[in-house]
């Protein structure tokens, strides 16, 4: 009886730890369609973002960040909840011009990175199919 209880406890611990690992490894969808819902464009051009492909070579903090109580940008920390970019990057939020809207922030981050990798990656049709 004692052996059965010990084995059951070990097995239960294994499943609890195993399930925790799978939840912690949830990295979001493999592909995301990026489109503003706050500062909508007259002719919206959604961008297709291959999230999983970027995750294979970049750390989460290379793209994601948060904000402190004063609204100042802070670096990403592992496990941090990822909010919608446009909740801060919208014209009503008073951000600096380069990142004042979701579109501006995405272009600043994505295009700059793409230009560093290969100028061809910074062309509009790479993201805007």
Could you tell me if residue 46 is inside a domain? yes
The confidence score (pLDDT) of residue 55 equals 93
Beta strands in 1-128 (DSSP E): 32-34, 47-49, 65-67, 73-75
The confidence score (pLDDT) of residue 25 equals 55
The confidence score (pLDDT) of residue 50 equals 95
Dig out the tokens for 11 from the structure. 């097995």
The confidence score (pLDDT) of residue 26 equals 62
Could you tell me if residue 90 is inside a domain? yes
- Number of structural domains the chain divides into: 1
The span from the CA of 67 to the CA of 46, in Å, is: 25
Could you tell me if residue 36 is inside a domain? yes
Q: What is the CATH number of the domain that holds 70?
A: 3.90.10.10
The confidence score (pLDDT) of residue 23 equals 38
Could you tell me if residue 50 is inside a domain? yes
113 burial class (0-12, 13-18, 19+ CB within 10 angstroms)?
Answer: middle
Could you tell me if residue 13 is inside a domain? no
The confidence score (pLDDT) of residue 115 equals 94
What count of other Cβ atoms lies within 10 Å of the Cβ of residue 103?
Answer: 20
Host domain of residue 71: 29-127
Could you tell me if residue 59 is inside a domain? yes
Low-confidence ranges of the chain (pLDDT < 50): 1, 3-24
The confidence score (pLDDT) of residue 10 equals 44
Could you tell me if residue 77 is inside a domain? yes
């Amino acid at each position: 009886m004692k052996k059965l209880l010990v084995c059951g406890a070990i097995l239960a611990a294994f499943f609890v730890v195993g399930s925790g690992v799978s939840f912690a490894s949830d990295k979001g969808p493999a592909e995301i369609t990026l489109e503003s819902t706050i500062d909508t464009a007259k002719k919206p051009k959604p961008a297709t973002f291959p999230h999983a492909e970027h995750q294979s070579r970049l750390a989460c903090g290379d793209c994601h960040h948060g904000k402190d109580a004063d609204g100042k940008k802070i670096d990403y920390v592992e496990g941090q909840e990822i909010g919608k970019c446009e909740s801060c990057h919208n014209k009503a939020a008073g951000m600096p011009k380069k990142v004042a809207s979701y579109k501006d922030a995405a272009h600043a981050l994505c295009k700059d990175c793409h230009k560093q990798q290969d100028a061809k990656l910074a062309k509009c049709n790479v993201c805007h199919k």
